[in-house]
Structure 1
Amino acid sequence: MDYAGIIIPFVGGLGMFIYGMQIMAQGLENAAGNRMKSLLQVLTKNKFFGVLLGAFITAVIQSSSATTVMVVGFVNAGIMNLGQAMGVIMGANIGTTVTGWLVSAVEWAKFLSPGNLAPIAIMIGVIIMLTGTRRSTKDIASIIIGFGLLFVGITTMSSAVSPLKDSEAFCSIFVSLGVNPFLGIIAGALVTAVIQSSSASVGILQSLAAAGLVPFNAAVYIIMGQNIGTCVTAMLSSVGAKKTAKTAALMHLLFNVIGTAIFSVFAIIYFKVINTTIGQGIITQTQISMVHTAFNIVTTVLLFPASNGIIKLAKKIGKVEESEQDDSKVLLDDRMLETPSIAMQSTLSEVIRMGRIVEGTLDKAKTVMFTKDYKDILDIKEEEEKVDQLCGGITDYVIKITTLSINEREHEELAHLLQVISDIERISDYCENVSEYAETLQERSATFSEKGATELREMIEVCSDCYKYALDAFEDHDRDKAMIVIEKETRADDLEVSLRTEHMQRLANRECNTDAGIVFLDALVCMERISDHARNIAEEVLNMVK
């Protein structure tokens, strides 16, 4: 038998299958990007929503391994706790079954015959790609081309291995895998671990099934092994991560191992006691999809109530306890860059978190010049250092996203985001300036006159409201709140001019302390610039809303 004539086309078909799957997944991800961003927000609700989100994201990016790697990144960054991660991991196992159904469509939907549909799909996709100008059109073209290449790859693999059905030695290997469940599970796990894609591994199994090579019982054990093998990618990605991230990867492994153990017992009893003949029959591609889907859905249903126990077991094995997150640590992880739309949403959340820290700093700055409280002065300076660290880390992460495959609109969003980050950081700087003014007043035992204090409080209140409305507008993408910011910023400009004029008159009449008077003027400038940066944020919001 010409094994070279079998192996070379098979490897080429596998490469085409994986490449087609990636192209299709990229197109789907780009097309569903905004929906994925909004769905990410439900993570904070409950574990059930996490299951739905995990299934959706995995169906889009066509890889449970990639989803789990992303989850490890979320946990490592502190964005997601282990309970939320558990839900997404369970959902990822369900979402990964989509590829198998696409492949088996050649059996349950005859009009999808690869020989007819694949070349047509590729040609249509190429025509759309060459003639389309909009990014959304090119995304659709990628989906169609990837769909066609996936079918061409599976057909090539099936045709390559077809001669092996006449090989008694090769057929006996699969028979032995069916007779010995442990060997079947190990085989499935090893193949999946090597190619690091359960979807591709299932595709290989379906190509062998199309050639009439795989007994039913062997396929069942191999499928269960594939679910264990897909954990390898996440386990590798957790190397060097925090203990909680390693625990998330361990949860994925435990979930699949426990599910496999349960199903193995039932499968062994069924094939060896209840129905001894069905296991020896040849399985079809559609039946592989059915077994794969049933295994993952039933495992999720069975283990969902016990998910907290799995988390505790993983934490015990990993010797970890979740602790409070350091505010100065950037809660973003490079693993999330695998899915740019998710990375962008996470970055947006992180910018909002930085903005809320500055909001708290500004609240302290509102009173510190009047109380001269030493603790508040120190707190403001410490928080400013945190914001500087966050600003640098988030900016670096945004730059990484710009190097990915994102559309023009997303590039524009990132440009607006960078400007907002800069404005928030500058407001934090001005809060630190205010703390320094408080120190000056404290050192010189200076105080504002009653009228000066009243006027300065009014200015601070207007500028503080400017920033709070700007941050709310940014978080909610609210045009009306952005317009309120612009109105308040105009009010701040007018106040700065009038209060400066009145204060200069008081200084001339010796109605206030000179040291306090100088601080008053500096504080006016400082507050007016805070309102300027708040207006910049509002204008960026208006641009994004457009």
Structure 2
Amino acid sequence: MKPIALWPAWARNLPRLLLLGLLGWWLVNSATANEIAAGLALFLLGMRSLEDGVRALAGSGLETLVRTSTRSTLGGLVFGFFATVATQSSGIVSLMTMSFVSAKMISLNSGLALILGANIGTTTGTWIFATLGASLDLARYALPFVSLGMVLRFSRERAFAATGHILIGLGLILFGIHYLKIGSELFQQQFDLRAYAPPGYAGLLTYTAVGTLATVVMQSSHATMLLTVAALASGQIGFDNALAIAIGANIGSTATALLGAIGADVAAKRLALGHFFFNLFAAVLALAAFPLFRTGTRLGARLLGLPEDDALLQLAFFHTFFNAVGVCLALPNLSRFLRLLQRLLPDTTPALTAPKYLSPTQLKTPDVAIESLRKETWRLFDRAIDLIALVMQVDPKAMRAGEDPHELDHPPARVHTIDIDGLYRARIKPLSGLIVDFAARLAPPAPLAAKLQHILQASAAIQEAVKDTKHLQKNLVPGLQHPNSIVQRQYLRYRRHLVETLYAIAHLPREPGCDGSAAELTLVTHTSLAQLDPLANGLLEEWLKNGELSPEEATSMMNDTAYVRRITENLLTAARLLGEAALPPHAA
């Protein structure tokens, strides 16, 4: 026994407990740390609630709205702008967009356009803060969101409950920013930023880094810009430094999407990386041409009639100006940028659905491609055989090993209902789609075209067998446990017949030139089917006359006999077609 096992649980967790205790003591005794930590906690909790709400709402009218609004690049841009204006968080819109792209609600191209619109939409927050002189009471506006959200949260209607989650999330986010603002104001009283303001480009780069770091930590460019407006209004930082913080906040705003992309699919990762590249490009452009952007800000503010001595409104104009320039330069190159992202993050096919024998290089040699396609279809066939064996309550490995067939004459100890739909979607349908896609790209000469048709017909027959097995399972599971011994014995016969058919097909020779075995198996199996049919051999009528079977049970038997027959015929047809599709040994 290890000595550590003798320690009590609290002793093993002592370092963690001490750390939490120190953190708690610090928060209790430091008003600044307490406000900032509370703000971050509320903000992150709000983000989670908002994410849950968006996910739940995606099944209702939101999907239609998103699809309709993002049919064009311009539509995606406008939707992203107004979505960010409504939520006042580009991070939230980024996460929403990633969810839309991952759920295939919108394309990656539309998602990128939406992100560009969000970049401009997020600048409206700076205009609000600058107009109100950083005196906006966010907590006041947060309360209605939370109150209305809680009312809707308890609704039985899915859309209303999801909207409640979203409103609660928005309210908590506003509360979080409110406490971050209070904590930052307390922090400013203890830390004078003017003492750390290097001149020239060194100062610009320093404050760009400050803006980036602050936004990453607070997970909100709005919070960063709110603090920047407050600092500029109080004279703690200069105008140029405030512009640099705005540039940095743009870079930092991508952190939410980058973090959200961890563990996501490749489409979401491309979107997050695209968001980062776009914002980094705009930031580098603004810093490289900073004098031009500053002059453009002065001229633009004058054209809009903004007071020349109002640094806050000019900061807001700059924030919008440099984002708009970046978007205008990015839009014409959106398709090129999309191809770059696809090269940097190529599609990854899960091992379960990856083809084993197919390769695009085979398309140039039709005979090799046909044989590879035939092998891949046999692989699909093996998956279907295993799935049907599971429905028959038999372990696929045991079935292939030919374990004692007499066990099939007795009902299994435990009967399970198999999730055929789930297994079909995971193991059959994706591989079948790859086979059809590969076949569609083939242009074989006439002698090989017939073999290609055999392969496609075999694939279709395999899928039909699986679908009929799904219908058979509805009565097979209760039939194997039925209190009526006649019913139970009949379903045991169905089970044995299909398992023996699966075993025979699984052991058919698959090399080119061995297609005769499937024809021999067909003759034997059809004889077995005739003996299995209680209607054809007169047993069904006898059972009904003797009252040993109810009319409902008889009807189920007739239907299920038909299912067993169709499953058998489709399996044998697929095996025969794959045998006929084989090329002569010298050609393959």
The two structures have a TM-score, normalised by structure 2, of 0.48
CA distance in 2, matches of 1:390, 1:290: 63
Whether the 8 Å CA contact 2:180–2:223 is kept in 1: the answer is no
**Which secondary structure does the structure 2 equivalent of 1:180 belong to?**
helix
Structure 1 residue 186: Cα displacement: 2.0
* Matching of residues 43-58 of structure 1 within 5 Å: none
Contact 2:102 / 2:267 at 8 angstroms: preserved in 1? no
In structure 2, do the counterparts of structure 1 residues 168 and 437 end up closer, same or farther at CA, with 3 Å as the change threshold?
A: closer
1:26 Cα offset (Å) = 3.7
- Structure 1 gaps, min length 5: 332-372, 392-417, 453-495, 503-520, 532-546
Kindly state the Cα deviation for residue 206 of structure 1 after the two structures are TM-superposed: 0.9
The answer to whether residue 241 in structure 2 is matched with residue 218 in structure 1 is: yes
**Match among 151, 157, 172 for residue 149 of structure 1:** 172
Whether the 8 Å CA contact 1:6–1:160 is kept in 2: the answer is yes
SS in 1 for 2:111: helix
Partner of 2:422: 421
Q: How far apart are 1:326 and its partner, in Å?
A: 7.5
Does 1:310 pair with 2:337?
A: yes
1:222 maps to a residue whose letter is I
CA gap of 1:381–1:44, structure 2 versus 1, over 3 A, is farther
Which amino acid is the alignment partner of residue 310 of structure 1? F
Structure (1 or 2) with the larger CA radius of gyration: 2
Aligned to 1:85: 108
Q: Distance in 1 between matches of 2:353 and 2:102?
A: 14
How far the C-alpha of 1:303 sits from its partner, in A, is: 1.0
- 1:235-276 Cα distance to aligned partner (Å, 9 max, x none): 667789999987665544332222222233444324369849
Q: Give the counterpart of 2:49 among 14, 23, 29.
A: 23
Deviation at 1:192, TM superposition (A): 3.1
Shift of residue 20, structure 1, vs aligned partner: 3.4
SS in structure 2 at match of 1:329 = coil
Q: Report the Cα offset of residue 68 of structure 1.
A: 7.3
Partner secondary structure for residue 305 of structure 1:
helix
Structure 1 counterpart of 2:214: 191
Deviations 1:1-57 (A, max 9, x none): xx9443432332343344335434543553354345457778997766665676688
SS of corresponding position for 1:228: helix
Match of 1:301 among 314, 325, 328: 328
Task: Give 1:257's match in structure 2, choosing from 280, 285, 297.
Answer: 280
Deviations 1:209-245 (A, max 9, x none): 2463465433332232233234456666778999998
CA contact (8 A) 2:221 2:253 kept: no
Alignment partners' CA distance in 1, 2:308 and 2:195:
12
Contact kept in structure 2, 1:71 and 1:248, CA below 8 Å: no
Q: Which residue of 1 aligns with 2:224?
A: 204
C-alpha distance 306-442 of structure 1, shift in aligned 2 (>3 A): same
Distance (whole Å) between structure 2 residues aligned to residue 240 and residue 134 of structure 1: 31
2:465 is aligned with 1:442: no
Q: Secondary structure at the match of 2:215?
A: helix
Q: Does 1:181 align with 2:204?
A: yes
RMSD of aligned alpha carbons: 6.0
- In 2, the alpha carbon distance for the partners of 1:114 and 1:290 equals 22
CA distance 1:172–1:258, change in 2 (3 Å):
same
SS of 1:182 mapped into structure 2? helix
Question: Within 5 Å, which residues of 2 pair with 1:59-98?
Answer: 62-63=91-92, 66=95, 85-95=108-118
Contact 1:68 1:249 in 2 (8 A): no
Aligned-pair distance for 1:63? 2.7
% of aligned pairs identical?
18
1: distance between equivalents of 2:206 and 2:564? 75
Equivalent residue number for residue 564 of structure 2 = 525
Which digits, 9 at most, give the CA deviation of each residue in 1:140-175, with x for residues without a partner?
433443343333333333344446777793245479
In the TM superposition, 1:395-414 aligns within 5 A as: none
How far off its partner does 1:323 sit?
7.2
Q: Report the residue type matching 1:227 in the other structure.
A: N
525 and 193 in structure 1: CA distance in 2 versus 1, 3 angstrom threshold: same
Residue of structure 2 in register with 1:337 after alignment: none
Instruction: Describe the SS at the equivalent of 1:304.
Output: helix
> Is residue 60 of structure 2 the alignment partner of residue 34 of structure 1?
yes
Q: Secondary structure at the match of 2:212?
A: helix
Flag the 1:423–1:219 CA change in 2: closer, same or farther, 3 A.
Answer: same
Contact 2:208-2:247 at 8 Å conserved across structures: yes
Pair 102,448 (structure 1): closer, same or farther in 2 beyond 3 Å? same
Map 1:113-512 onto structure 2 (within 5 A). Answer: 113-114=137-138, 116-127=140-151, 129=153, 132-162=155-185, 169-173=192-196, 180-195=203-218, 197=219, 200-210=220-230, 212-213=233-234, 215-232=238-255, 250-271=273-294, 275=298, 284=312, 291-311=318-338, 318=344, 328-329=352-353, 378-384=375-381, 420-421=421-422, 427=464, 429=466, 442-443=516-517, 445-446=519-520
Distance 1:303 1:159, change over 3 A: same
Structure 1 residues 205 and 376 mapped into 2: Cα distance closer, same or farther (>3 Å)?
Answer: closer
Q: In the TM superposition, what whole-angstrom CA distance separates every residue of 1:400-454 from its partner, at most 9, and x where no partner exists?
A: xxxxxxxxxxxxxxxxxx66435776746479989976969821755999xx9xx
Q: Work out whether residues 32 and 184 of structure 2, in 8 Å CA contact, stay in contact via their aligned partners in 1.
A: yes
Q: CA deviation at 1:88?
A: 1.7
Pair 29,235 (structure 1): closer, same or farther in 2 beyond 3 Å: closer
What SS class does the counterpart of residue 60 from structure 2 fall into? Answer: helix
Contact in 2 for aligned 1:215/1:282 (Cα 8 Å): no
Task: Return the letter of the residue paired with 1:154.
Answer: I
Amino acid at match of 1:383: L
| 8 Å CA contact retained: 1:187, 1:225 | yes
Give me the whole-angstrom Cα distance separating, in 2, the residues matched to 1:191 and 1:158: 12
1:9 alignment partner, one of 29, 35, 43: 35
For structure 2, which runs of at least 5 residues remain unmatched after alignment? 1-28, 302-306, 356-369, 389-418, 429-462, 470-497, 510-514, 527-531, 539-559, 571-588
